[in-house]
Amino acid sequence: MIPYAAPIDDMRFVLHHLVGLDGLAALPGLEEATGDLVDAVLEEAGKLAGGLLAPLNTVGDRQGSVLENGVVRTPDGFKAAYDAYREGGWNAVPFDPAFGGQGLPWAVAFAVQEMWQAANLSFGLCPLLNQGAIEALEAHGTAEHKRLFLPKMVSGEWTGTMNLTEPQAGSDVGAVRTKAVPQGDGTYRITGQKIYITYGEHDLADNIVHLVLARLPDAPEGSRGISLFLVPKFLVNADGSLGPRNDLRCVSLEHKLGIHASPTAVMAYGDEDGAVGTLVGRENQGLKCMFTMMNNARLSVGLQGVAIGERAYQQARDYARTRVQSKDLTRPEAPAVPIIRHPDVRRMLMSMRARIEAVRALTYLAAGDLDRARRHPDADARAAAQARVDLLTPVVKAYGTDAGVDIASLGVQIHGGMGFVEETGAAQHYRDARITPIYEGTNGIQANDLVFRKVLRDGGAAAKAFIAEMRAVDAALAAAAGDDAAAIRQALADGIDALEDATAWLLAEGPQDPAGAAAGAAAYLELFGVVAGGWVLARAGLIALDGLQSRDGDPSFWDAKLITARFYADQILPKARALVRPVTQARRSTLALDEAAF
């Protein structure tokens, strides 16, 4: 078994010191989220993740989920693990108590969710998709949807899916062809096929609630003509009991590079009379409803990058502590040493650690702003928090998942040849991580979203406000003593300048040259992530300096925080300036080559 121990100390640090847990607990409806309660939640979640879910990760990878005679069986142990997860109330953590939820902050839920994804990414995908479906129904469902479906979905007795993609459509959801024909009684008959449906069929829950994008007979073309429908595997009677099987089935399961235990289904609707569905939201407003699901899922997928990176880091660290090879450069006369003493291995481990901590903090911050956007009593504060959630969502998703893949790759590298051998498990983390930059909107889509919808659309208001907030840490760094603070300050200032320069160029040139802006969009998103990560680690470094000076807390913890922030400043933040040119000069070199020359 490859062990996993939830990084609870760092999670607690981020929640208390960077997100501001006390402030979240002061919001209406979150009063129960005291520090003691949250600490207890993290401890118990860590036990379930490390003790039950992590040992199943390799089992799931080797066995995979299988489809036989229309029934999908998950790997050995998954059903019992899901029952334990559900019975422990873990599915209900962030949801409304009116539907059986525990009403804890999303920031806390994300910390808990990170543990499931790190311990067993394939397992964690089921509650992730259910979470998005719950969010969509809370926001757009009818009173009857909420009465019949939400309590069971919140408890985890039933699970939810998103059915967006079709073979001919891919990421272009406006090209869907699945049909929905009204029956005159408030129901619709759904016919069509969907692909890449995560947990579209499985044996973990009693019912599966599919949220399906489809087109009405008289709908306009493109994305303006798609609607969203709730289509359960089993129809639900008025008293909440299960009725007959709906006209839908899993046709096949995809054979994938990774996440083998997660059943990725091809779903067929309407082989007979058509699957019975009900409208979610308004007709032809499915895109709006879908984005409620997608934005929730995009933050969670960014968190998956953190999670799989953490799992790969822990394994690589443990291996480096025990793998003896070559002599210490400073003591050539001595026997061979564990590879963790070699500078290049240290460099890789520090890069893994620094990027994980940076993206974890960014993701939890976005989740904290999600809580503020929904619950703060002041309308202006809610609007400001929502603007930052919107701005950070594509950054968290893309920068987080790119980091997860890079970190998992470094994990293989640290293992050397043994990392390329499946038996060590390092390769599984890399294979599992590779899907995350693709699903829930590819990272290229995230880059375009950041540039066109989050920066250009509001004239850069949200981006400028965030840049100003990042600059505000400069005074604190200037007042702090020591070389570390000075080095972090200089690197962060240079990075913020680079981000400001690139943002100014986009605002000036993007409206007139959208192709040029799109050509540099991926570099802009990476630049944004690099600088935002440096900012959160600079804040962590300042807190660590205070802790060291006041001798309050574990000095080794504070020292590690400070060194990690300094490493990010020295090794990662300097990339920000180099990314300005790809943002501003990408047009000709990216777009000029004739298609026939490729």
What span, in angstroms and rounded, lies between the C-alpha atoms of 476 and 402? 31
Distance CA 80, CA 99 (A): 24
- Nearest partner of 503 among 486, 482, 487, 527, judged by Cα: 527
The residue ranges of DSSP E strands in 403-560, in sequence order, are none
Single-letter code of the amino acid located at 31: E
Rounded distance between C-alpha atoms, residue 18 and residue 1, angstroms: 34
Give CA–CA dist 182/116, Å, rounded: 40
> 437 is written with which tokens?
């930059």
CA distances in angstroms from 516 to 509, 583, 587, listed in the order given? 8, 9, 5
Indicate if 440 belongs to the active site. Answer: yes
Alpha-carbon distance of 93 to 109, in angstroms, equals: 6
Per the DSSP assignment, residues forming a β-bridge with 277 are 188
Residues contacting 480, CB < 8 A, separation 6+: 542, 545
Structure tokens of 519? Answer: 């050509």
Q: Which of 440, 469, 526, 595 is catalytic?
A: 440
**What is the identity of the amino acid at 213?**
L
Report strand pairing: 158-163 vs 207-214. parallel
Q: Say if CB 300 and CB 347 are below 8 A apart.
A: no
CA atoms within 13 A on the CB side of 339: 18
Helix (H, G, I), strand (E, B) or coil at 395: helix
Do residues 45 and 90 touch, judged by C-beta distance below 8 A? yes
Whether 517 contacts 509, CB under 8 Å: yes
DSSP 48-106: HIIIIITHHHHHHHHH--EEETTEEEPPTTHHHHHHHHHHTTGGGTTS-GGGT-----H
Give all strands (DSSP E) within 237-374, no chain letters. 242-245, 248-253, 264-269, 275-280, 324-327, 336-338
Q: Please, which residues have CB within 8 angstroms of residue 289's CB and are 6 or more apart in sequence?
A: 136, 139, 140, 211, 228, 280, 281
- Extract the tokens encoding 238: 């008025």
Rama region for 182: left / alpha / beta (φ>0; ψ in -120 to 50; rest): beta
Q: How far apart are CA 184 and CA 181, in angstroms?
A: 9
Q: Which of 4, 1, 19 lies closest to 388 in space, CA to CA?
A: 19
Q: Give the DSSP H/E element, type plus range, for residue 194.
A: strand 188-198
Fill in the DSSP letter of residue 421.
S
CA distance 383 to 349: 39
Where do the H-state alpha helices sit in 234-279?
Answer: none
- 222 Cα distance to chain centroid: 28
Annotated catalytic sites, by residue? 440
